[in-house]
Amino acid sequence: MRCFLHAFLLSAVFTFCSLLYVFSKLVSTFEDGEVKEWGVSWQGNRHRSSHDTGHLLRKGPGPSGLRYRKDEPDRERSGSEVKKLNDETSHLAVVACGPRLEETLIMVKSAVLFSKKPLHIYIFAEDDLHDSFKTALDSWPATVRTKFKFKIHAITYPEENASEWKKLFKPCASQRLFLPLILKEVDSLLYVDTDILFLRPVEDIWALLSQFTPDQLAAMAPEHEEPRIGWYNRFARHPYYGITGINSGVMLMNMTRLREKFFKNDMTTAVLKWEEILMPLLQKYKLNITWGDQDLLNIIFHHNPESLYVFPCQWNYRPDHCMYGSNCHQAEEEGVFILHGNRGVYHNDKQPAFRAVYEAIQKYNFGEDLETALLDSLEASLQTTTDTYCGRSSHLFTKRLKQSAISVQ
């Protein structure tokens, strides 16, 4: 009996040692898991449950989901904190493809005109537009060029899915989804569509970063203020944020946090990093989305609402806010801060009030008096648009613009 017991114990010890060896090999494999760099497909899945709210960190990208407990909650990690706003430079990005050169230049012009603090502008454009952008911006007066720096980037997508991403919704529109992965050295960024006009300094919306809670990593405005005319709540065939969805034409991002975040989703119980979630999301919903990358953002923030800061409609004022009657109450009180001329309204006659603002900034020459050369002519043009709903609200376009013009004179 005693010999039998001794043999049993030896066998148990041997089994235990074997298990330890196998486990150590597994750990080594998981910690060596590969995540390929930008420009190549990413590999490696996280299998941390989306319902796991513990304050845990993964050491490696392997499928085991091995985690290491920190002394502090994730939301207090120094790497996720908003950098102190002692750097007064605002970082602005835009994506231009096709016939968007002039429209993009007018957007940049509006940003430079009213900003009092320096700007760093990242222009992502098709190769045949690079020289035109550089020539146009370099031709601006030296006194103007001292207010901003710019860098022109090529349109860049993950290699294996480039064609699919590029044709999503409008040409190159989905590039904005990859800005956090391309501009890795940039902590925070304001992305805008080409059809944006700034009516107050860029640094004013940039200051909203300081209002983010520790969990928030992006800010956008609602798609609609009035649910009765909302698109997402009436027609969407996919999840969307809040009651009426969000519009991504003006998107303020803390990209450090965005790169570090593990996102909950409806594809797997695992939480996924930004570079891991985009392609699976597109594959799942590509037959159900209408507005391309904006729909993907709505899906992501539907499942991660704590990560989004929602700013008022006056920061992204579109024809929808006035074409059926005025419904942006914050703009009625304080004026329009950023004008968004979607639906091509800067270039057609559907919303002449929007077109009047665009053309006034387009025709303004640097160095002229802003009040007489810009504001007076704009107000005269807007007087001719009062037979339209948006024209009747056009005093909201100049309410804040007047203050911006006076402040930079």
State how many domains the chain has. 2
Assign 169 a pLDDT band (cuts: 50, 70, 90).
low
| 224, part of any domain | yes
Query: DSSP of 6-72, one letter per residue?
Result: HHHHHHHHHHHHHHHHHHHHHHHHHHT---PPTTS--------BTT--S-EEESS-STT--EEE-SS
Residues whose CB is less than 8 angstroms from the CB of residue 66 and which lie 6 or more positions away in sequence, other chains included: 27, 30, 31, 58, 59, 60
Alpha-carbon dihedral 51, 56, 60, 63, rounded to 10 degrees? -20
Over range 253-271, report the average pLDDT: 97
- pLDDT for res 213: 98
- The stretch 321-347 carries a mean pLDDT of 96
- Average pLDDT for residues 373-378, to the nearest whole number? 96
Chain centre distance of CA 1 = 73
Residue 227 has pLDDT above 60, yes or no: yes
Q: What distance in Å separates the CA atoms of residue 332 and residue 325, rounded to the nearest whole number?
A: 12
Report d(CA 103, CA 112) in Å as an integer: 14
Let me know whether 268 and 126 are in one domain: yes
Estimate to the nearest angstrom the gap between the alpha carbon of 397 and the chain centroid. Answer: 24
Both 308 and 191 in one domain: the answer is yes
The H or E element spanning position 192 is strand 188-192
Residue 309 lies in a domain: yes
Name, in order, each residue with C-beta under 8 angstroms of 165's C-beta and a sequence gap of 6 or more. Answer: 157, 158, 174, 175, 177, 178, 282
Confidence tier at 18 by pLDDT (50, 70, 90): low
Crossing angle of helices 395-408 and 101-114, rounded to 10° = 60
* 248, 195 Cβ separation under 8 angstroms: no
For 390, the domain range is 321-408
For the CA atoms of 27, 32, 33, 39, the dihedral, rounded to the nearest 10 degrees, stands at 170
Take residue 396 and report the two structure tokens written for it.
């909201």
In a domain, 18, yes or no: no
| pLDDT for position 160 | 77
Extract the runs of DSSP E, i.e. beta strands, from 223-346. 246-254, 308-310, 338-340
**Domain annotation covers residue 58:** no
172 and 114 within one domain: yes
Asked if 160 and 106 sit in the same domain, the reply is yes
In a domain, 167, yes or no: yes
Q: Are residues 330 and 204 located together in one domain of the fold?
A: no
Looking at the domain assignment, is residue 276 inside a domain? yes
Last residue of a domain, one of 314, 334, 369: 314
Q: What is the pLDDT of residue 87?
A: 59
The answer to whether the beta carbons of residues 199 and 397 sit under 8 Å apart is yes
For residue 260, tell me if it sits in a domain: yes
Q: What is the largest CA-CA distance in the chain?
A: 107
Strands 188-192 and 90-96: parallel
Domain identity same for 116 and 154: yes
